[in-house]
Amino acid sequence: MSGNNHQFAFFLGCIAPNRYPGIESAAIRTGKKLDIDLVPLKGASCCPAPGAFGSIDLNVWYAMAARNLVLAEQMGMDIALICNGCYKSIWEVNHKLKHNAELRDAVNEVLKEVDMEFKGTINVYHLAELYYNDEICGLARLRDSVNTPLSGVKVACHYGCHLLKPRKDREFSGDVIGDTEHPTWFEELVDALGAEAVEYRNKMQCCGAGGGVRGYDIAHALDITNEKLTNMTDAGAEAIVDTCPFCQLQFDRGQFEIQEKFGVEWNLPVLHFCEMLGLAQGMSPVELGLDLHQISCNSFLDKINGGQ
Amino acid sequence: MASAKAYKDAGLSARLADRYYRPAQDSDPTFVGDVERISGTEAHICYQCGTCTGSCPSAPRSSYRIRNFMRRTNLGLKELSLNDPDLWLCTTCYTCSDRCPRDLIPTDVIMAMRNMAAAQGILPKNMLGTVNFIYQTGHGVPNSDGNRAARVKLGLEPEPETTSKYPEYLPAIRKILEAYGTKQLADKVLAEGQ
């Protein structure tokens, strides 16, 4: 159903706009073809990083995330975002403050000093769940927007952790997106773009970067990443697709670091779902900033171009 | 009467047979309550099945054992827990929390312990670096000249529609970081490290 424009306040986070700007650009431009209008959320900050801030002091994490939420409340718009880490901060703090009056009062006590008040009037969504949601977009609509199918390429889906887990704290309706042991909705999204999503061992495993571990013990984080890369490659994957720029950083820059530290070379291209959607809608690799990725995406691009 | 079950380690057998056994280390009976208050999860009903450690991506590659931290919570082993470098190896993937048959959130137990350790100035310095970046720019990963040029090439503005483009929003962020003492903690701990 076209003509039904859905507006969201677009929460950018840090890594997408500041390291992989093609994700930001792709989300905005592909959204136009899907009637998902992403409106700038002026003055937003870091979500803030749930690993670092949650570890230091959960209370400051709540208040900092609440400031971002209030900016969207003032616009009267629900938030759409493109990063699992941001989802944990923004969705989870919104949920906690809506349901815990004591916590909300404590946060508002501090927000009062900056002339703000959390009211709990908006909802928060990840773009990936909106693409899957028939009321907003849905698979058929997504498939119809594709003019350059990504056929002939095998892709490993990395769901990441903080969009779905912990399941008992999330409120996904139905069992499709809510399944954290063996979900398949991300594979369905990838199939809609014409690519083939492969099943691989332990696919719900973490990328290794979260909880501040990437900064604390990079070799430990990379060892987890390396296990995932092994499992993906074993299944014949020719690229990774993710819904989280931080996971993307860990896989993309991480492969370079793995080569340096462990002497293992993978050269597996890593793309955010928005970037893949951009390609499938005919955006060029340069328009998507794929040349900014540490691991060259050329093998993937050759494959899809060769398939046409 | 002889014990139905004996272990080769005589010391272990004696400890297991002693109903009033308490750990040799200083046990703090308030620890479990504090952990439960901060984490919001009932750590004391943990029955030590080990599903958490069995699900943990960090366990196979380190000495970090989430089940061990759950046990220490209930034994009141506060100082041991807060000073253990393994406390910082949890990637917060929440797989243990999804699978816990007691419906606990062990990940949040770790987060609570990290909060308590951080309050004592025990935490990885890189996390405080993130605090300073946010204090200065609003972003944990700030913009850079190379990225500004790349953004322009993509048809985006050099600064995203965040605090990068609207620094007038920074004072509120700084006030929040100061209200919780987070900025002060970062300055103090980072100064001590030099």
3-state secondary structure chain B: CCCCCCCCCHHHHHHHHCCCCCCCCCCCCCHHHHHHHHHCCCHHHCCCCCHHHHHCCCHHHCCCCHHHHHHHHHHCCHHHHHCCHHHHHCCCCCHHHHHCCCCCCHHHHHHHHHHHHHHCCCCCHHHHHHHHHHHHHCCCCCCCHHHHHHHHHCCCCCCCCECCCCHHHHHHHHHHHHHCCHHHHHHHHHHHCC
Q: Which of B102, B119, B136 represents a domain boundary (last residue)?
A: B119
Q: Specify whether B97 is located in the same domain as B147.
A: no
Q: Note the pLDDT tens digit of each residue in A180-201.
A: 999 999 999 999 999 999 999 9
A106-125 residues touching B, CB cutoff 8 A: 110-111, 113-114, 116
- Give me the CATH code for the A148-306 domain, please: 3.40.50.11810
State the pLDDT at residue B30. Answer: 95
Per-residue tokens: B120: 């004592």
Query: Which of B89, B120, B135, B154 best tests the A interface by mutation, with the highest count of A CBs <10 A?
Result: B154
- Give me the CATH code for the A6-126 domain, please: 1.20.1050.140
Q: Specify whether B68 is located in the same domain as B137.
A: no
> What's the sign of the alpha-carbon dihedral A247, A177, A37, B161?
negative
Q: Specify whether B32 is located in the same domain as B98.
A: yes
Nearest CA in chain A to B165: A43
Per-residue tokens: B191: 């100064």
DSSP 8-state class, residue A161: S
Q: Per-domain residue ranges for chain A?
A: 6-126, 148-306
List chain B pLDDT tens, one digit each, 194 residues: 455 667 788 888 887 788 887 776 678 999 999 999 999 999 999 999 999 999 999 999 999 999 999 999 999 999 999 999 999 999 999 999 999 999 999 999 999 999 999 999 999 999 999 999 999 999 999 999 999 999 999 999 999 999 999 999 999 999 999 999 999 999 999 998 75
A75 touches chain B (CB under 8 A): no
> If you count residue pairs, one on A and one on B, with CB atoms under 8 Å apart, how many are there?
218
CB contact under 8 A, B89 and A216: yes
CB contact under 8 A, B154 and A21: yes
CB contact under 8 A, B127 and A60: no
Q: Note the pLDDT tens digit of each residue in A137-149.
A: 999 999 999 999 9
Taking 80 as the threshold, does the pLDDT of residue A129 lie above it? Answer: yes
Chain B residues in contact with A15 by the CB 8 A cut-off are 141
Distance from CA of B84 to the nearest CA of A (A): 14
Whether residue B5 lies inside any domain: the answer is: no
Per-residue tokens: A229: 């890369």
Question: For the domain that residue B112 is a member of, what is the CATH number?
Answer: 1.10.1060.10
Chain mean pLDDT for chain A: 95
B149 touches chain A (CB under 8 A): no
CA nearest to A15, candidates A49, A41, A42, A63: A49
Chain A residues in contact with B155 by the CB 8 A cut-off are 25, 287
Identical topology for domains A6-126 and A148-306: no
Q: Which residues pair with A241 in a beta bridge?
A: A157, A271
Chain B residues in contact with A245 by the CB 8 A cut-off are none
Whether residue B114 lies inside any domain: the answer is: yes
A134: which residues sit within 8 A by CB, 6+ positions away?
none
Q: Which of B93, B119, B145 represents a domain boundary (last residue)?
A: B119
Per-residue tokens: A223: 């060892």
Q: Judge if ipTM > 0.85.
A: yes
Q: Note the pLDDT tens digit of each residue in A12-38.
A: 999 999 999 999 999 999 999 999 999
CB contact under 8 A, A220 and B173: no
Q: Specify whether B71 is located in the same domain as B130.
A: no
Query: What share of chain A in percent tops pLDDT 90?
Result: 93
B115 touches chain A (CB under 8 A): yes
CB contact under 8 A, A45 and B163: yes
CB contact under 8 A, B111 and A116: no
Domain range for B144 is: 125-192
CB contact under 8 A, B127 and A212: yes
Whether residue B65 lies inside any domain: the answer is: yes
Q: Specify whether B93 is located in the same domain as B164.
A: no
CB contact under 8 A, B176 and A50: no
Per-residue tokens: A80: 């759409």
Rg (CA), chain B: 22
Q: Which of B119, B145, B177 represents a domain boundary (last residue)?
A: B119
Q: Specify whether B111 is located in the same domain as B30.
A: yes
State the pLDDT at residue B26. Answer: 78
Q: Which residues pair with A147 in a beta bridge?
A: none
B127 touches chain A (CB under 8 A): yes
Q: Specify whether B109 is located in the same domain as B143.
A: no
Q: Specify whether B94 is located in the same domain as B167.
A: no
Q: Specify whether B60 is located in the same domain as B115.
A: yes
State the pLDDT at residue B1. Answer: 45
Whether residue B12 lies inside any domain: the answer is: no
Partner residue facing A64 (CB), from B128, B171, B176: B176
Q: Specify whether B110 is located in the same domain as B155.
A: no
A274 with A36: CB under 8 angstroms? no
Query: What share of chain A in percent tops pLDDT 70?
Result: 97
Domain count, chain B: 2
Per-residue tokens: B14: 């004696």
Chain B residues in contact with A57 by the CB 8 A cut-off are 115, 118-119, 180, 182
Chain B residues in contact with A223 by the CB 8 A cut-off are 61
Q: Specify whether B43 is located in the same domain as B108.
A: yes
Chain B residues in contact with A63 by the CB 8 A cut-off are 176, 179-180
Distance from CA of A301 to the nearest CA of B (A): 18
Instruction: Assign A2 a pLDDT band (cuts: 50, 70, 90).
Output: very low
Q: Specify whether B44 is located in the same domain as B79.
A: yes
A22 touches chain B (CB under 8 A): yes
Whether residue B15 lies inside any domain: the answer is: no
Q: Note the pLDDT tens digit of each residue in A82-111.
A: 999 999 999 999 999 999 999 999 999 999
Nearest CA in chain B to A284: B154
- N- to C-terminal Cα distance for chain B? 61
Question: Coil, strand, or helix at residue A244?
Answer: coil
A297: which residues sit within 8 A by CB, 6+ positions away?
A239, A269, A271, A285, A290
